[in-house]
Structure 1
Amino acid sequence: MNINQERIRLMEIDLRNVFQLQFLDIEDESHLHAGHAGAATGGGHFKLMIIAPEFDGLNQVKRHRAVYAALNKHFPTEIHALSILALTPSESPHAG
């Protein structure tokens, strides 16, 4: 398991402790940022899609803050950059 796969595993554990996840996908996009000044710190670049009922009634800023709060201990060492798509189950493309 490479270092970013381990980081993803630990992020998933922390997100599961806070949210009742309907869906979670964390992609490592670090390879797209090789040579970027922030990449030199060793933190990874990740793209996150999360679907959870806790986002009901929250705007995007509050949803992102909730995700950042859940992953706070990972910044800035493990995570340098994080792209977030946070949806409620009713907003999910998987809603049926």
Structure 2
Amino acid sequence: MKPAERPAAIRSALEAAFAPHAIEVVDESHKHAGHAGARDGRGHFKVALVSDRFAGQGPLARHRAVYAALGDLMTTDIHALSIEAHTPSEIRSR
């Protein structure tokens, strides 16, 4: 997949899995140019999700769910992923 197509593919996979109230996908690959981990051509991304599907899950379970939703993208297109995963009530209580 072309690097420019990656954010949309990530967004699509996460929308399908979590039906989020809010989602943000940021390509931070440019910040890692020349980094040893970026040499394989995969990208660095930050995602923020707000979904009811995270209710009752701790941070580790939420991250695992995000990795599972991204499936093969984790091995073919994503080198590093920063995840913020919250429920709507957690966002309201901030």
**TM-score normalised over the length of structure 2:** 0.91
The alpha-carbon deviation at position 17 of structure 1 amounts to: 1.2
Task: Supply the distance in 2 between the matched residues of 1:5 and 1:26 (Cα, whole angstroms).
Answer: 12
Give 5+ residue unaligned stretches, structure 2: none
Partner AA of 1:57 in structure 2: G
Task: Supply the distance in 1 between the matched residues of 2:57 and 2:4 (Cα, whole angstroms).
Answer: 30
Q: Is the 1:24–1:49 contact (alpha carbons within 8 Å) kept by the matching residues of 2?
A: yes
1:85 aligned to 2:93? no
Give 5+ residue unaligned stretches, structure 1: none
Taking only aligned residues, the RMSD between alpha carbons, in angstroms, comes to 1.3
Task: Supply the distance in 2 between the matched residues of 1:23 and 1:4 (Cα, whole angstroms).
Answer: 23
Task: Supply the distance in 1 between the matched residues of 2:41 and 2:76 (Cα, whole angstroms).
Answer: 7
Hey, which bits of structure 1, 4+ residues long, moved more than 6 A?
none
Q: Share of identical aligned residues, percent?
A: 47
* Number of equivalenced pairs: 92
Partner AA of 2:76 in structure 1: T
